[in-house]
Every structure is written in C-alpha cells, then in structure tokens.
Structure 1
Amino acid sequence: MTDAPLTPLTLPADDAAQAWVADRAEAGLAAAAALAQELREAPPSEALAVLQTWDALMLHLGNVAAMGSLYGNVHPDEAVRTTAEGAEQDVDRVVTELSLDAELYALFAGLSAEGLDADATRLLEKVRRDFTRAGVDRDEPTRRRIAEIRARITEVDQEFSKVVRDDVRTVRVAAERLAGLPEDFVAEHPAEDDGLVTLTTDYPDALPVRMFAEDAELRRDMTLAFLDRGWPANDALLRELFDLRHELATLVGYADWPSYDAEVKMIGTGPAIGEFIEKIADAAQEPMERDLAVLLERYVRDVPGATRISPSDALHYEELVRREQYDVDAQQVRRYFSFEKVRQGLLDVTGRLLGLTYVEVPDVVTWHEDVTVYDVRDATSGAELGRIYLDLHPRSGKYGHAAQFTLTDGVAGRQLPEGVLVCNFSRGLMEHDHVVTLFHEFGHLVHHVLGGHGAWSRFAGVATEWDFVEAPSQMLEEWAWDAEILASFATNADGEAIPAALVAAMRRSEDFGVGYRVRVQMFYAAVSYLFHLERPADLTARMVELQERYSPWPYLEGTHFFANFGHLGGYSSAYYTYTWSLVIAKDLFSAFDADDLFATEVAHRYRSRILEPGGRRDAADLVSDFLGRPYTFDAYAEWLAGSA
C-alpha cells in the first residue's frame, strides 16, 4: 500500500496497440501465476494476508480480462481485437485452473475468520463459495471436463458476440423512399452514383427508419434486416452454448444452468425466474390490452381489416399515436437534443447530483479519435476519483449496442477505477430515447467509479448481485425526464429551451404503451430463461411460441431475433434482471423529491449508501439502508397500473 497519488493507465498509440495488449496480458498473467505459487508453497500465516495475496492475484487477472474485453469490442484494428480476445481467453483458462486447484481450496477452507473485519469475512465466504461452485470437490476426470467446458464456453461466447458485432446489414433504397424521415437524416444519407441510398442496421439508421419512414415496405425491409442479424451462424453456436452451460451446471451438482446461475443473485433460485416472469406478465396484461386497442384502432385506418400490428409497423404507429393523440412529434423533439449539448448536459447533471467534477483530458491517447476522456474528481475535496472514456458513435468492428466496459477496477492505494461508456449514437440530433439510454449507461459508469475505492478488488464498482446492477442506472433515467433539468441543456438551433409543456406531453406519451413494452421485456426474459432451461433443438420454433405467449407483436416470418440477442452471452438465463432491477429502481426513486431532484441530503445518502459501497454488502441491505426499509413491489406496480 502507498499514500502516493495514483495515476490513470497510459494507453498505447495505434501502431503499438497490439504489442501493448500482448505485453500487458503476459505481465498480468505472470504476476498472477507468481502469487498463486506463493500461496501454494509459502502461504502467509495470517488469514488476512492470505486474502490480500489472493485479491492481488485476482486484480492482475481482472486487469487483463478487462483490457481484453474492452479492446476486443472497440479497437478499430481487427488484429488488435483478436489479440485482446485471446488475452481474455487466457484469463478464463487461468481462473478455471485456480478454481479447480484442490491445494488452494484446502488453504482457504482451513482459514479462520477470527479477527477479520466484516469485509474480509465476506471475501473469505465468497472465495470459498467460488471454489465449491467451480467443482473443486469433484473427482479428477470431472474437473478436467469442467476445465474443457469453461474454455469452450469462452470461445463460443466470444464468437457469438463477434458475429453479432460484425454482422451489420444494409438496405439500399431510392432517395424518394426516405419520405417522412428527418431533414438532417436525409441530408446525412445522400444518394450514391447509382441513385440509391445505403442504410445500415446500426441504431442511428435503423431506429429513425423504423419510426419515421412513411414507406411501409422500407420499414419492413429494415426490420427484417435488423432482426435477422447473426443468422444463421449463431444458431449452432447458441445451441452449443446452452448445452455446455447445462453440462457444467449438472457436473457441479445443480439441476440446470438457471438454478446454478440464480444461486448468486437476489432471486436465489432458477424456478423463481419463471415465477417472476409470469408475475410481471400478468401485471402487464390489462395495461397492454388497453394500449394495444388504441394502437390497433389507429393502425386499421391505414391497414383495413388488420387484427394485429406487424412488428415492422409497431414503432411507426406508436409514433403516430404520440403525435396525433399526445401532441408529441419525435422529429420536433429531437431538434432540442444535439449530441454535443446532451453530452455536456449529462456531465453537468450527474456532477451536480453526485458531487462530482469532470475535467476533460484532451491530449490523452485512446483507441479512436471519437473517444473523449475525463478525469473524475470529488467536487468538494478535489480528490481524484477515477477516469472515464466516452466512445459514443458507431464504426466498423465496434460493439453495436450500449454498455459500460471496465478498463481497471479501483482499489484503494493500488489503482484508480477507469471505465468506458460504449454506445452508438448519432453525431447530430438524438432521439429522446437515446438521451435516456445515455443517462442509463452513464449510471453504470459513475457506479463503477464511486464504488472503486475500497480495500478489495472483489467488491469494486458494480460487483454486486447481477439482478441489482441495473437499478441505479434505471433510476438515473428519471433525470432525463425532468422538465427543468432538460431545459438546462436541451435547446434548439435558436437557443430556445425545450418547453415544460412539451416535456409533460412527452412523459404522458411515454406512459402510453408501458404495458406492451413490459410484455416485450418478458418475451426477452422468457427466451433467456427457457432457452437455457429447455435447450430446444429448434430455437426458431420455440422463439415463435414464446413470442406468441408474451409479446404483443406477432412473429415476422423469416426472422431469428435470438441470433443477435447479445444478452444471451453475458446475462445468459438472467435477462429478467432488467425488470427485477426496475422494480427496485422505482422504489429507490420514491425517496427523491420530484420537485427537487438535486436535494442534497437524499443525493448524498444515495451516493454513500448505494454507489460507494460497491459489492461490500448484499444489494437488499444496501437498498434497505438507503430507504430505511426493505424494498417493495409497490412503486413498480403503481407505475405499471397507472401508466397512460
């Protein structure tokens, strides 16, 4: 440990990136191996020192894995991405070997918790549980098979993600078929030499086309292309992934993968996932039917005799209802949300709320010129808290959705927390939905930074139960809906702030359709859960059945949404966590004064009791400490029932 100021990581120039990734991986793996050997041959006599050595070992591995995951998803050079993916595979292999090391397990099993503080005791319990869940107590042939399975899972998961990332499809149309799309969108998509305009399935193209294009065939073509990304390559990969996960779970004593995966989450058991999905689906049934009736009434005016709304038309007609019945025109709304102003507004709002200052670092080396970098400081003390990277526009070879990636986990006295926000937004005007997404994802980033100042890397940042991770980010979305807050940065080309009356109308229109959007989420959650539980031979057929059961939209013939459902990788059987977290987020937000979202006392309490502890306590205890009571379903149920 040292009292010297910690400094952020120095990233390599483009021509040195591949060597830097390889060298950093080699050094990190070597340091971890040396510490593991020390624990085997000459372990410290005190339990605390053993835990400190282990945590240092895992920090080395975490640094390599984080670098591998980030550079494997964002670096423009495919060779660098491949090297980074290899580093991530190497870490997974080493973690598997360590977790199956009976000698190391015996060391931790024999430690006494006497004299350890609460955090160290919690760490000891977690380490012991990790060993047993890994299968360290199984016979040698079983442990060998477990190692093989884990290595292959990593490979398959990476290949699945790579297929999704790289499969950007295009729709080419005559310029006149862009009628209905915003003027700036049309200007940014000029016709090529053959007179056709190229549109891609990246979000800045796909979402406006599906929302605004008057040409129903264009909307259908874009939806077909968007929903079919990753097919057919990912069908076989996913079936293999589900089989491997099931085999792994059963080898270590669980009935199935969801049961294994849920044990370390708030929900506790696999069957509870199915019960939760049904509970939410039932609660959303009446609101869904109510709003679908309104949507269908508008739809049949243009499509006489229709009894259901095509998925390719859903966004468009939802936009028409909002425009015609709620006086909200998304094309008018987006004129208030220029990207540069939104980005600065995000920093201003979160800085004020959480007591932070962001200092841009303009000359730091990054992996792409689009990336902006900020040092994060405490607004009161000026203390350096970490560094964040914002990589917010699409490009070839880049991760295609929105997520926070770790660069380094923060540990007091060892290294600063550094995180990366990876999104794919327009460089010009943004849809308000994307503004909300930006606030959401930034919530993960500040959680990572503020939770990165404890003594143990195991509990750094968002290292809490996975079905709580989304709650702080979902709650932060509320700040992107407040009229006074939006007026501070949402201005049109003439400098006029977005009117409060328009924001109120936007909120009312957003509440329209909550029921059917929740049911879409339950469709996704059911795919995530039941594909892992049942491992169907025909994924498409089972998806169609689940879509009919849960989704408001009928199946669009010829599409295979699951093939690009990236959460089947990282979230595996637990996509339900988005809604589980939202239940908690609604309860967390109830503690704030809707008329003063920056109230100092509650904001400070939120920072200190929810974000800063990281994973040092169970999520339920963090929430109870903040609210002064256990969390309930009440706020979510009220929101769902009262929507529209």
Structure 2
Amino acid sequence: MDLKKIVFILSICSMTYSYAGNVKTDPNPFLSEFKTLYNAPSFDKIKIEHYEPAFLEGIRQQNAQIKAIVSNKAKPTFQNTIVAYDNSGEILRRVGGVFFNLTEAETNDALTALSIKMAPVLSEHSDNISLNKALFKRIKTVYSQRGSLKLTREQERLLELIYKDFVRSGAALDDKKQARLREINKELATLEIDFSNHVLNETNAYQLVISDKKDLAGLPDWLVKSAAEDAKAAGKEGKWIFTLHNASRLPFLQYADNRALREQIYNAYINRANKGDKNDNKAILAKVITLRLEKANLLGFDTYSNFVLDKNMAKNSAKVMDFLNNLWIYSNENARKEAAELQKLMDKEGKGEKLARWDWWYYSEKLRQEKYNLNEDELKPYFKLDNVREGAFAVANKLYGITLTEVKNVPVYNPDVKVFDVKDSKGKHLGLFYVDYFPRPGKRGGAWMNNYKDQHGESRPIICNVASFTKPAGDVPSLLTLDEVQTLFHEFGHALHGLLTKCNYVGVSGTNVTRDFVELPSQIMEHWATEPEVLKMYAKNYKTGEVMPDTLIQKLNKQMLFNQGFMTTELLAAAILDMEFHNLKDAKNLDVVDFEKKVMDKYGLIPEIAPRYRATYFNHIIGGYAAGYYSYLWANVLDSDAFEAFKENGIFDKKTADAFRTNVLEKGGSEDPMVLYKKFRGAEPKLEPMLKNRGLQ
C-alpha cells in the first residue's frame, strides 16, 4: 500500500489536465457523494472547472482531518489514529478516481495542463502528511504496542503497512533530508507527467498514409476497411491510414507484404520520444533515474530497485535478477531457434534478405500457417468483442456465481463506455463495472484496470477496464485477435480482484497489494480464455452464430506455444532493462539509449528482437512498475501453478473456485501475499508449470 490513496494515484498515473480559470459554475459534484445509482461518477455534470477547486477543498479537508488526529488529547489507539487516517481524504479519493482515470482514457489539452499544474501541489500535500512528525509519532506509538492490542490480522496488516509507508516516505529523516526529499518528489511528479505526455503525443502524431492500393497487399479486409474509415475521418477519403496503436500497427506488421512499409511503421514505433525534438524523453528519463536513486539513498537504500522491492514479495534486487537470469537462459535460446526458422522461410523466397525486427510478425504468421495450417485471421470471426466479453462474464458466473447486467441509467464520459451492475448469487450488489474498449486520440496505449471508488466495509467498489481493441469497421463488428481476447480476460481478472474484495479498510482492499502479486488474479483469468470448454461458451461466428469447430479449437491450442521464445524474450528484455536502470548506484551522465544498448548487448539479446518497451517510451517504469516490470513474469509462476489446481479438480470446480475467491480475491492486501497463496494452494508455487506453459522446458 502506498501512502494514502492520493499518493498511490500519483505513483501510477502519468496523466494530465488543465484548468479554464476561476469561473463560477454549478455546485461542484465532487464535494459530496454523487447523486446517482450506487454513487457512480456524475460524468454528465462534471466540468473542467470542477477539478481544481475539488482538489483544493479535498486537500483542505484532509489537512483538517490530520490536524484532528494529531491534536486528539486521548492516547493514540488503532481507532483514533490508524482508522482515522485510513478514512481521511474522501474528497481527494473521489476527484482523483475520476480525474486520473480520464487523463488516461479521455485526455485533452485542458486535462493535460491541469495535471501539470496540480502535480507539485498534490506532491506537496502528500509530503505534508507523510512528513508530519506529530502524526508519525502517534502512528509509531500504536505500532510499538501492536503486540498487546488484540487486533485482527487485517488490522495488524493495515497498521504494519501504514507505519512502514511513513518510514519509506521519509518520516524518520531529519529536517534537512526531508526538505530535499520534498524537492525530489515535486520534480519527479512533473517529470513523470511530461514523459507520458510525450509518448502519447508521439503515438497520436504518426500516420502511415497509403494512397496506392497495391501497398495494401496481404492485409485482411477488416483491417483495410478500418484504415479507410480512419482516413475518411481524417479528411483523406480514398486513402488508408495506419497508426501506432496496437490494433492498427500489429496486424499491419503481421500481414503487409510491403516490407519497406513494415520497416517504416515499426521504426516509427520503437523510436518514439527519441528524436531530439520537443517530445524527446532521453533527458527526462535520465533525470528521473538520477532523482530516484538520490531518493533511495536518502531513505537508506543503495539502489532504487532495493527501495521498491523491500515491500514486494521478491524483497530485493538480487532475488529478482536471479529469477530473470534463470528465465533468460531458457527464453533467449528459444528465440534464437525461432529466428533461425523464420530465416529459413525467408531464404525459400530467394530474395536474399536477412530477418529484421520488422519481419518477425510477418514471417511468424506465415510459419504458423505452415506448421499448424492456421491463419490467425481465421479465428477473428469467432471473437466478436461482445461475445468475448460475455464469455468472460460467464466464466466468472460459473466460478463465483456472480452476474453482470448492463445498466443504461448511469452517466458515462464517452459513448463507447458500457456499465454493468455486478451482483452475487443471491442478487446482492457487489459493485459497478465500466468497460471502455476502443482506441481514440485522448486514450493512452495499452490496457488497464482502475478504481473510481474503493471498497471498504459496506461501501462497494466502482471499477473500470480500459483498452484499445480493434474497432468496428463498416458492417463488420469489433473482431478481436487472440491476443486481444487474452487481454480482455486479463483485465477482467484485475476487475474481479477489485469487485470481489471484502475488506474493512481502504488501505488494504482490492488491488492494494504488492506489485508482484497484483498480476495473479489477472493472469490466471487468461487461462480460461482458450480452454476448449470455455471457447464453446463464447467463440461463435459473428455471421452464422456457429460455435468454433473442434478442428479450429485443436489448431488454436496446438499453436499456443508457438513464438513463445520471442514473446518471453521481448518481455524479459524489458524487465531486465527496468531492473538495470534501477540497479544503478551512480546515475551521473546517464545516456539512456546507450545504456539500453549496453545492457542488451551484455545479455546477448539477438538483433532481430527489441525489448517490448524501449527506454524512451517505457511508460510502465514511469508509472507504478518502476523496478516492477518483472512482476508479470513473477506472477506468471503464481498463476500457472494456481491454474494447475483448477486443472486437477476441474476448471470450474466449486471448491477450488471458492478457495481462490476466499483466500485471494476477497482478501486484498489484508495479509502477506505468500501466506494468502499458500492458504489457497497448500504450498508455495512451483516454477515448472510456468516453464511448461511458455514452452521453455
């Protein structure tokens, strides 16, 4: 748990926003509970001019709440200090939940400007709380008496996390070091916003405009139609536009016969924010790494990675590096073998060309067809977005007895957004769930889950999933790739973690868990997506309604290990790059691009593969995954081992599902994650299922 929810928001969000000035307006909807179904955000009433006053009033009220805790004449207790602190900042949670979600999903110049303006203000407010000596003294007093307080395990965990967060935030430092820490935090808050905005600007600015129909050779009809619609919307009717968003770029790389154009769009993607112009991120990232190291040193850690990992399951950098290096031995060798296979395929064409990075998707698709008689485009008609979403909902119903029913009387911030009322098997309300699945200029890339409202006690959560999947085109609905199907299930797994939580305190509810545990609920859901029994539930041809035939299901599952050397290696390379940046003990004169090259050369990354995220657009390490990108692979060990329990007993076995729900999904961060895992599984996870699932053993 990070120090109070507002600090958590600042640490994971690289967003922006601007303010139109001190304009008199309607009553500010953030200053009280929203007057809507289940207190859903009043998007129909929220205006740009509401945010800054709400933030400032939230700061004022939380300051008053902190002052009341500190000035309380009664001796410090769990209730009057720890619970009072956990409950403080209600307005900030309300406005921050909306603001920081919109700056990721629906940003604009105004939002960007206000983000930049408010970042140092919010950073200072966080520091004013975390460096409040009188508040820390009361928290420390309660913590020192914890053995005699007869607390529940959840209460013990909350107390422990809050105390350690204050220490990690500098509460025990002297005045001089605290002053420097404040300066660092303010500067980082602004730099991190600038970094992410530059990536978004670069992504939105690029267009590959095709005028000659011959250059569309190899591309499937659905992609051509989508590109034509994008061109028409951009005032270039009769042409085709391809962008750097995954839903456009990846299928272009996968199918376009024109190699020069594949090279062009690929290079545009991997060189984002690395061109020496106003969006260049090299100096920003170097400064971020330098400041993070200084912060870690102030707090008594030799590296920023050890500072971050001290509160994670992994505990320290050495353990993470051992884990990554062990996997690297398996994955890089597999990637070399795959590259050799692709080169042989190219050699057969007799063009004398050498496999390059922009060729990998194209020739791996050809190899898939050759090996498995499967063109991934054959799968898409069975992956209509609405059907896939309902498939994920059906899995949750069979596992946990919950239902998700669309509601129309809840305001939304964009017509693409749908809202679902989530209820348990007895019809009791569990939460609201928003989905926002299509790309647009104001939305950053990738996919994520966030909260509009946290669960605690009887207050139920409001959760959102956001992604940028393939859009409908003409009379063709949104048809997903297999990767998008798995992403939808993945993010829905995060949503279930947030929706099913049953905790008493904000600080430990839902996804307020260690970074290397939070991906377990999401990644385990991916396993159900391609189980034959589940495919038959949702994979239906969008034209005929025909269920995916057994022959196609068999082909799909036979090729699940295909190209895993590449996929694991590019992910591992990014995780290693993240760790190496944050393992630095001296970051002076850091050239981030040169450093990236040296790291990849040291590990022997083959030239045909780049890290999944290169330094200048690695948004994960600017947000909440700094020294934490390894978490996807770490949690992959957990989810692979956990799904073995379902396979042993039946993928919808009620006893197993109940154990996972009770010991993982409902518990949030209320207990040590390994304790929770062992309560579910009966033992610590084994590595072998993960290696097997990735074809690395």
TM, length-normalised to structure 1: 0.93
Contact residue 203 and residue 424 of structure 1 kept, 8 A: yes
Identify which of 461, 466, 475 aligns with 1:422. 466
Q: Tell me the amino acid that sits aligned with residue 467 of structure 2.
A: C
Q: How do 1:199-238 and structure 2 match up within 5 A?
A: 199-232=242-275, 233-238=280-285
d(CA) in 2 for partners of 1:44, 1:156:
42
Structure 2 distance, partners of 1:282, 1:440, is 27
Gaps of 5+ in 2: 1-34, 472-477
Aligned to 2:671: 617
Cα deviation 1:604-632 (Å, max 9, x = unaligned):
21111110000001111111000111222
CA contact (8 A) 2:339 2:608 kept: no
Given the alignment, which residue of 405, 409, 414 partners 1:368?
414
* Counterpart amino acid of residue 600 in structure 1: K
Q: Which structure 1 segments of 5+ residues have no match?
A: none
Match of 1:406 in 2: 451
CA deviations on 1:472-518 (whole Å, 9 max, x unpaired) are 21111011111221122212212111122212212222202222321
Shift of 1:76: 4.6
- Cα offset, 1:369, TM superposition: 1.0
Instruction: Please state whether the residue corresponding to 1:385 is helix, strand or coil.
Output: strand
Amino acid at match of 2:88: L
Q: SS where residue 240 of structure 2 aligns?
A: strand
Q: How does 1:28-177 map to 2 (within 5 A)?
A: 28-42=58-72, 44-45=74-75, 46-57=77-88, 60-83=91-114, 86-87=117-118, 89-111=120-142, 112-113=145-146, 114-167=149-202, 168=204, 169-173=206-210, 174-177=212-215
Aligned to 1:243: 290
Partner residue, 2:18 = none
For residue 369 of structure 2, the aligned residue among 323, 333, 355 is: 323
Distance 2:109 2:44 in 1: 12
Show the counterpart of 1:465.
Answer: 514
CA distance 1:129–1:642, shift in 2 (3 Å): closer
Which residue in the other structure is 2:598 paired with? Answer: 545
Which residue does 1:504 correspond to in 2? 554
Contact 1:265 / 1:465 at 8 angstroms: preserved in 2?
A: yes
Distance 1:622 1:419 in 2: 23
The AA in structure 2 aligned to 1:244 is L
TM-score by length of 2: 0.86
Which whole-Å CA distance do the structure 2 matches of 1:373 and 1:134 have between them?
A: 37
Any idea what the Cα deviations from partners look like across 1:7-65, whole Å, max 9, x if unmatched? 63343345742133334423432321111001121165333331110101155544443
Q: How does 1:337-348 map to 2 (within 5 A)?
A: 337-348=383-394
Partner of 2:221 in structure 1?
183
Checking the alignment, whether the CA contact within 8 Å between 1:520 and 1:550 is kept in structure 2 is: no
Q: Which SS does the other structure have where 1:209 is aligned?
A: helix
RMSD over aligned Cα, in angstroms? 2.4
1:412-471 C-alpha deviation (Å, 9 max, x unpaired): 13x3211111100112211111111111111111111112x3111110111111111112
* The one of 360, 366, 381 aligned to 2:426: 381
1:165, distance to aligned residue in structure 2 (A): 2.1
Contact 2:55 2:91 in 1 (8 A): no
Instruction: Output the amino acid matched with 1:79.
Output: A
Whether the aligned pair in 1 keeps the contact of 2:561 and 2:695 (CA below 8 Å) is no
Greater Cα offset, 530-539 or 234-243: 530-539
In structure 2, the residue corresponding to 1:110 is in which secondary structure? helix
Tell me, what secondary structure is at the counterpart of 1:375?
Answer: strand
Look up the match of 1:530: 580
Aligned residues: 634
Distance 1:136 1:358, change over 3 A: same
CA distance in 2, matches of 1:247, 1:303: 55
Deviation at 1:330, TM superposition (A): 1.0
- Preserved contact between residue 623 and residue 630 of structure 1 (Cα < 8 Å): yes
| Aligned twin of 1:349 | 395
1:519 aligns with 2:569: yes
CA contact (8 A) 1:291 1:512 kept: no
Which segment is superposed worse, 320-329 or 184-193?
A: 184-193
8 Å Cα contact 1:491/1:497 also seen in 2? yes
* 2:536/2:547 contact within 8 Å kept: yes
Alpha-carbon spacing, 1:15–1:613, altered in 2? closer, same or farther (3 Å): closer
Contact between 1:64 and 1:88, CA under 8 Å: does it hold in 2? no
What SS is found at the alignment partner of 1:386?
Answer: strand
- Per mean C-alpha deviation after superposition, the further-off stretch among 249-258 and 99-108 is 99-108
| Percent of aligned pairs sharing the same letter | 25
Q: Give how far 1:266 is off.
A: 0.6
Q: Deviations over 1:293-315 (max 9, x none)?
A: 323322322365556x3110111
What is aligned with 1:486?
535
1:520-543 per-residue CA deviation (whole Å, 9 max, x = no partner) reads 111101111112223472222222
Aligned-partner SS, 1:8: helix
Q: 1:99 to 1:277 in 2, by over 3 A?
A: same
SS class of match (1:381)? coil
Q: Deviations over 1:135-191 (max 9, x none)?
A: 222221110110111111111111111122232211112232111111122122226
Residue in 2 aligned with 1:637?
691
* Conserved 8 A contact 1:394-1:423: yes
- Distance (Å, rounded) in 1 between the aligned partners of 2:571 and 2:636: 11
Distance 1:89 1:303, change over 3 A: farther
Contact 1:523 1:551 in 2 (8 A): no
Is 2:488 the partner of 1:450?
Answer: no
Partners of 1:630 and 1:216 lie apart in 2 by 48
TM-superposed CA distance for 1:277, in Å, is: 1.4
Q: Is the 8 A contact 2:37 2:410 kept in 1?
A: no
Question: 2:339 & 2:400 partners in 1: Cα distance?
Answer: 39
1:303–1:582 Cα change, 3 Å: farther
